[in-house]
């Protein structure tokens, strides 16, 4: 072990480039020969990665929807703004979208520091919820007490300590004696005793306070009659298309057909919108492969998933889904309770910090904040903390092994763009490049580069605002929106865009003059022609 360690340390000592920001962080560990050596060489005194590669998704709610607060969140690291359509009217969300766009456009006038922010519409999906609590804000369900769960429409607003209404008429048909009903993310648990035509008698196994409109889970039940896209979802998706959202987080996806139903609801006008499938049930996990094929990406939605399957198995599902997404080259989001304690406290627990870091080490492209930024007391601190944890975790990734495994998984290909992407990422490792600059019109080239997980950031120069925003789904991609019209001479246009990428890299501290940079371009205008890769020193570009 000592000999190997000495050899690895010489690897970093041989680097004769100027002091670099990105290349040297945990370099010895990153380029180790074995996983055990990688772990042994991790060093707590090493600086974190300067350019965070993992995107941060923030749920925008009452605590964060003002223009000023949104600007502060963008500065703190927000890349994607999530709108939760389980709550709020269309008028409410329309105003929020307007505020997000105004915040982004007014945060700076310097194109070198412009930060595109994508907008994601999270559908309500086929949820089951309780009704309104009668007369008060909340009611106490006492452990050991008997509660009747009813579905009759006449009882919708009459929930109390002895009767709970739910909006799922088929409830008595899908339950059996001994099954459990979980409410409010599993905080409340009811065990089924007797079943009637439109009621279910239960005993409270886990008590607590019940508020209005809380989510209901029925683990192990075949939920008949629950469509992937409800009438409300269709109206919400039409709203999203009309307001130009960039992506849809489709809730409770259980099969490939569910994804197709979402795309059908988006229609031709919404065909450009990315569909990210939220897998949050046992059925969704079992059908994961077919869901992945039809989706643009996947969200590991651990909240409901942790009720639908045993909590101790959630990490297995998380690692499996992230691994398969990495193998398929599709973005994957890790979500739910990542920094939950920061809803009410300025610092996370040690376990939460490790949870975020391990999601990054597993291979997540994005990590998501929910209540932390939507209604928490410390939304800015939560984003800043997420940013810091991601930087530390990214420096500790075993990049050498990761790239080799991803390359081995790639079948032989005659696609020049993919071949160029593989060569560019390998070259970036060989010269410890400060960045990869890619010129892209459709976003495909930057997507392929991200798939092979370079250590350095990918500066994706594009003229398309939508491509820039949607690129925020991809690990390591820093979209750079280039406004000038195309130059009459193609070569001049390429040079001007590459220079813009170089200027951004220097301005943001990704690299300095003299550092190596990999440049990826096409040989003629248009999409699908990326096949040129060159290594340059930033001072000479």
* Residue 48: per-residue pLDDT: 85
Sheet holding 516-522, edge to edge: 477-481, 458-462, 435-439, 516-522, 530-537
In the predicted structure, residue 361 carries a pLDDT above the cut 90: yes
Q: What is the pTM of this model?
A: 0.90
Alpha carbon distance 473, 479 (integer Å):
11
Mutual angle of helices 256-266 and 231-242, in 10-degree steps: 50
In the predicted structure, residue 382 carries a pLDDT above the cut 60: yes
Alpha carbon distance 359, 365 (integer Å):
9
Class of domain 2-47+399-540 (CATH, top level): alpha beta
Q: What is the full DSSP assignment across 119-153?
A: EEEE---S-EEB-PBSSSSEEEEPTT-EEEEE--G
Q: What is the mean pLDDT of the chain?
A: 91
Alpha carbon distance 252, 278 (integer Å):
6
Tens-place pLDDT, residues 160-206: 999 999 999 999 999 999 999 999 888 999 999 999 999 999 999 99
Superfamily the domain 55-125+229-394 falls into:
Phosphoenolpyruvate-binding domains (3.20.20.60)
In the predicted structure, residue 12 carries a pLDDT above the cut 60: no
In the predicted structure, residue 11 carries a pLDDT above the cut 60: no
Please, which contacts does 316-319 make with residues 24 or more away whose CB atoms are closer than 8 Å? Answer: 317/279, 317/285, 318/359, 318/362, 319/362
Return the H-helix or E-strand segment holding 271. none
Higher pLDDT residue, 18 or 418? 418
Q: Can you tell me the mean pLDDT for 217-232?
A: 86
* Residue 10: per-residue pLDDT: 43
Least-confidence region, from 249-263, 273-287, 410-424, 527-541: 527-541
In the predicted structure, residue 523 carries a pLDDT above the cut 90: no
Tens-place pLDDT, residues 276-319: 999 999 999 999 999 999 999 999 999 889 998 999 999 999 99
* Tokens at 360, concatenated: 């990054």
* Residue 2: per-residue pLDDT: 46
Residue 117 half-sphere exposure toward CB, CA atoms < 13 A? 32
Tens-place pLDDT, residues 443-468: 999 999 999 999 999 999 999 999 99
Task: Return the beta strands (E) in 337-483 as ranges.
Answer: 366-369, 435-439, 458-462, 477-481
Domain ranges in the chain? Answer: 2-47+399-540, 55-125+229-394, 128-217
Tens-place pLDDT, residues 27-75: 888 888 889 998 999 999 888 887 899 999 999 999 999 999 999 999 9
Best CA proximity match to 77, nearest among 352, 381, 377, 282: 381
When pLDDT is cut at 50, 70 and 90, the band that residue 23 belongs to is: low
In the predicted structure, residue 323 carries a pLDDT above the cut 70: yes
* Residue 528: per-residue pLDDT: 64
Show which residues are catalytic: 82, 129, 278, 336
In the predicted structure, residue 273 carries a pLDDT above the cut 80: yes
Contact status, residue 55 vs residue 473, Cβ threshold 8 Å: yes
Determine the longest span between alpha carbons in the chain, in angstroms: 79
* Residue 213: per-residue pLDDT: 87
Higher pLDDT residue, 290 or 486? 290
* Residue 13: per-residue pLDDT: 54
**How much of the chain exceeds pLDDT 70, in percent?**
95
The CATH classification number of 128-217 equals: 2.40.33.10
Strands 366-369 and 435-439: unpaired
In the predicted structure, residue 18 carries a pLDDT above the cut 50: no
Higher pLDDT residue, 183 or 529? 183
In the predicted structure, residue 14 carries a pLDDT above the cut 70: no
Q: Do 55-125+229-394 and 128-217 show the same overall fold?
A: no
* Residue 526: per-residue pLDDT: 67
Q: Can you tell me the mean pLDDT for 418-443?
A: 93
* Residue 540: per-residue pLDDT: 52
Sheet holding 180-183, edge to edge: 128-129, 215-217, 180-183, 188-195, 199-206, 146-150, 163-165
In the predicted structure, residue 5 carries a pLDDT above the cut 70: no
Q: Can you tell me the mean pLDDT for 239-265?
A: 96
């Amino acid at each position: 072990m000592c000999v190997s360690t000495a050899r690895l340390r010489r690897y970093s000592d041989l680097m004769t480039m100027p002091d670099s920001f990105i290349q040297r962080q945990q370099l010895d560990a990153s380029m180790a020969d074995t996983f055990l050596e990688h772990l042994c060489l991790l060093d707590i005194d090493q600086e974190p990665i300067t350019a965070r590669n993992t995107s941060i998704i923030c749920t925008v709610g009452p605590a964060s929807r003002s223009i000023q607060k949104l600007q502060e969140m963008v500065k703190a690291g927000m890349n994607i703004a999530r709108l939760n359509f389980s709550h709020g009217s269309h008028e409410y969300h329309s105003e929020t979208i307007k505020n997000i766009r105004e915040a982004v456009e007014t945060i700076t006038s310097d194109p070198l520091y412009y930060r595109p922010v994508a907008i994601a519409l999270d559908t309500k999906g086929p949820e089951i919820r309780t009704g309104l609590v009668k007369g008060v804000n909340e009611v106490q369900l006492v452990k050991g007490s008997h509660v009747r769960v009813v579905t009759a429409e006449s009882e919708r607003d009459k929930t109390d300590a002895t009767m709970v209404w739910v909006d799922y008429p088929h409830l008595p048909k899908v339950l059996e004696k001994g099954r459990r009903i979980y409410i409010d993310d599993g905080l409340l648990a009811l065990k089924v005793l007797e079943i009637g035509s439109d009621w279910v008698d239960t005993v409270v196994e886990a008590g607590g306070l019940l508020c209005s409109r809380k989510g209901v889970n029925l683990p192990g039940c075949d939920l008949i009659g629950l469509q992937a896209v409800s009438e409300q979802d269709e109206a919400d998706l039409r709203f999203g298309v009309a307001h130009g959202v960039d992506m849809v987080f489709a809730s409770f996806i259980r099969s490939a057909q569910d994804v197709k139903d979402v795309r059908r609801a988006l229609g031709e006008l919404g065909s450009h919108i990315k569909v990210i499938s939220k897998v949050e049930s046992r059925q969704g996990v079992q059908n994961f492969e077919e869901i992945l094929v039809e989706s643009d990406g996947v969200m590991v939605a651990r909240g409901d998933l942790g009720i639908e399957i045993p909590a101790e198995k959630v990490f297995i599902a998380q690692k499996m889904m992230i691994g398969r997404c990495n193998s398929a080259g599709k973005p994957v989001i890790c979500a739910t309770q990542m920094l939950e304690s920061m809803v009410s406290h300025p610092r996370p627990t040690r376990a939460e910090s490790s949870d975020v870091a391990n999601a990054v080490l597993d291979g997540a492209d994005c990590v998501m904040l929910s209540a932390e930024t939507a209604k928490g007391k410390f939304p800015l601190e939560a984003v800043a903390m997420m940013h810091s944890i991601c930087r530390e975790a990214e420096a500790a990734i075993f990049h050498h092994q990761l790239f080799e495994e991803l390359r081995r998984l790639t079948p032989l290909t005659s696609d020049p763009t993919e071949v160029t992407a593989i060569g560019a990422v390998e070259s970036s490792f060989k010269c410890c490049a400060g960045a990869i600059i890619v010129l892209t019109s459709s976003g495909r080239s930057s997507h392929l580069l991200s798939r092979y997980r370079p250590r350095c950031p990918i500066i994706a120069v594009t003229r398309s605002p939508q491509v820039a925003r949607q690129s925020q789904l991809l690990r390591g991609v820093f979209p750079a929106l280039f406004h000038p019209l195309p130059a009459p001479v193609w070569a001049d246009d390429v040079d001007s865009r590459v220079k813009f990428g170089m200027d951004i890299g220097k301005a943001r501290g990704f690299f300095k003059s003299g550092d190596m940079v990999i440049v990826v371009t096409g040989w003629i205008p248009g999409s699908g022609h990326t096949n040129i890769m060159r290594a340059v020193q930033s001072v000479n570009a």
